[in-house]
């Protein structure tokens, strides 16, 4: 089938590459020439494991094309995926300007039946708005009403984890498709069934429903996962007070099949492009419908506070004034296997440290350049603070003469460091671990002053205690 993807961001690129991988003829459109130049030059504008190799393979096979030509993109695909950004507006609602502009472009250029698929995460009712703007554009061309071109608007939300998106797309646990029960919807269903047929050969993974329910499903899924994270973080903070070990608690409750282990890790808060934005958008949708989502309001509040917990632990040990202190920070991206810095906890942690007078030397395996850009924007009005943020080429480089190591992202490279070397180069053998990578007892035996989230602080030999 001939498929068009509008938008070469995270969702669009993964969707386009994976559909090309199973044999479809994919045309990827973006209005940003810089992105298209990168893609046509053999690169990718985002970091996602396996994506570059998949795109290269399918470009060589002639199954994927990248262009800024809007008319050509509409002419190409019988199915038009809208996969553009929906950033949060000032009031927390999803900004649909890019989605609606994509729909207008399709309406301006379409010639014949099209299935228009909302792949972007959009609020309930967006398909109706997309239909309205396409109808408006067709009417301007004298193609409205019964004499006009037919089309169907489908909701097909993505359920991709950054860092594992290619695998998630190629091995989906479900494919949600929302469509209308009319003649055009029936034709759209046939095309979508054909499109996703390779993923259903082992067993049927597609769940059909009405459009509004499909739009709601995406938000409800992300809201549930965010709730689990904030729940465990709140339990971890209580565990700190009562002397329990949240890792033991996690294993105890996760063994219950009604609960499971996924998204039950305590840490320093969630970030990224999905959870913060989607929780805010769902809260806003509820407000507009005359309802308060009290649980999700609490989830959001807990997450904001959790990003401050790690620095509070540092302040408890080293004092409120950190002038002259130096910290090694491992991990900048909001999660491993991505360079995404959106809502990353590292931004709050580093801002708080330098705001108290400290200097930071930070390292991330892939997000360093994106972090440079983000911090330059975050601290544009505070050049003196920005000057105290340094980016290292290796994780070991950050440690020299630091008062402590602060771990913010759980990259695999950080899970088994050379602790002997670490103790040698730090001013004091001290770790503040926002992701609970190490065992407190093992750290005590090594003579490392180890502070984690929701786990006991184990005393260690007096002659190994660090000086403050």
- Angle between helix 345-355 and 309-318 (nearest 10): 30
Rounded distance between C-alpha atoms, residue 182 and residue 131, angstroms: 14
Give start and end residues of each alpha helix (H) in 110-182.
126-140, 165-170
Rounded distance between C-alpha atoms, residue 433 and residue 451, angstroms: 6
Rounded distance between C-alpha atoms, residue 467 and residue 445, angstroms: 17
Annotated binding site for substrate: 159-162, 218, 263-267, 271, 335
Identify the helix (H) or strand (E) that includes residue 20.
helix 10-21
Annotated binding site for NAD(+): 30, 35, 86, 121, 162, 277, 342
Say if residues 5 and 83 touch (Cβ distance below 8 Å).
yes
* Residue 452, CA atoms < 13 Å, CB-side half-sphere: 27
**Active-site residue identified among 18, 28, 268, 274:** 274
Catalytic residue list contains 274:
yes
Edge-first strand listing for the sheet containing 79-82? 64-67, 25-29, 2-6, 79-82, 114-118, 151-155, 175-178, 206-209
* Residue 281, CA atoms < 13 Å, CB-side half-sphere: 26
> Is the sign of the CA dihedral 172, 174, 178, 183 positive or negative?
positive
Annotated binding site: 30, 35, 86, 121, 159-162, 218, 263-267, 271, 277, 335, 342
Query: What are the catalytic residues?
Result: 274
């Amino acid at each position: 089938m001939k498929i068009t993807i509008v938008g070469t961001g995270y969702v669009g690129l993964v969707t386009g590459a994976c559909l090309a991988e199973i044999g479809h003829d994919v045309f990827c459109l973006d209005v940003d020439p810089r992105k298209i130049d990168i893609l046509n030059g053999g690169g990718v504008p985002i970091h996602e494991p396996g994506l570059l190799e998949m795109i290269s393979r399918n470009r060589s096979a002639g199954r994927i094309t990248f262009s800024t030509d809007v008319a050509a993109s509409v002419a190409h695909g019988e199915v038009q995926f809208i996969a553009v950004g929906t950033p949060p507006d000032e009031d927390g609602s999803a900004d649909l300007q890019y989605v609606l502009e994509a729909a207008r472009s399709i309406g301006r250029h379409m010639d014949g039946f099209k299935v228009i698929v909302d792949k972007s995460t959009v609020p309930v009712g967006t398909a109706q708005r997309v239909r309205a703007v396409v109808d408006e554009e067709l009417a301007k061309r004298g193609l409205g009403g019964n004499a006009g071109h037919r089309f169907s608007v489908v909701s097909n939300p993505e359920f991709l984890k950054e860092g594992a998106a290619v695998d998630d797309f190629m091995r989906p646990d479900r494919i949600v498709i929302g469509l209308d029960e009319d003649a055009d919807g029936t034709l759209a269903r046939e095309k979508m069934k054909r499109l996703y047929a390779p993923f259903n050969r082992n067993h049927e993974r597609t769940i059909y429903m009405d459009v509004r329910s499909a739009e709601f499903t995406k938000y409800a899924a992300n809201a549930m996962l965010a709730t689990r994270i904030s729940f465990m973080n709140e339990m971890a903070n209580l565990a700190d007070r009562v002397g329990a070990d949240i890792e033991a608690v996690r294993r105890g409750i996760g063994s219950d099949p009604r609960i499971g282990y996924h998204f039950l890790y305590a840490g320093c808060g969630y970030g990224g492009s999905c959870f913060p934005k989607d929780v805010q958008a769902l809260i806003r949708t509820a407000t507009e419908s005359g309802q308060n989502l009290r649980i999700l309001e609490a989830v959001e509040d807990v997450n904001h506070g959790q990003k401050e917990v790690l620095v509070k632990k540092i302040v408890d040990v080293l004092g409120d004034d950190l002038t002259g202190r130096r910290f090694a920070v491992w991990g900048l991206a909001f999660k491993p296997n991505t360079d995404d810095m959106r809502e990353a906890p590292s931004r709050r942690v580093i801002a708080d440290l330098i705001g108290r007078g400290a200097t930071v030397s930070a390292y991330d395996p892939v997000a360093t350049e994106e972090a440079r850009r983000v911090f330059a924007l975050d601290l544009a009005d505070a050049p003196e603070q920005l000057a105290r943020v340094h980016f290292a080429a290796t994780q070991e480089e950050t440690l020299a003469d630091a008062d402590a190591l602060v771990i913010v992202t759980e990259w695999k490279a950080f899970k088994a460091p050379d602790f002997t070397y670490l103790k040698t180069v730090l001013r004091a053998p001290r770790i503040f671990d926002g992701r609970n990578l190490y065992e407190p007892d093992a750290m005590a035996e090594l003579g490392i002053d180890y502070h984690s989230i929701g786990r006991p602080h184990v005393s260690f030999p007096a002659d190994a205690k660090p000086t403050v």
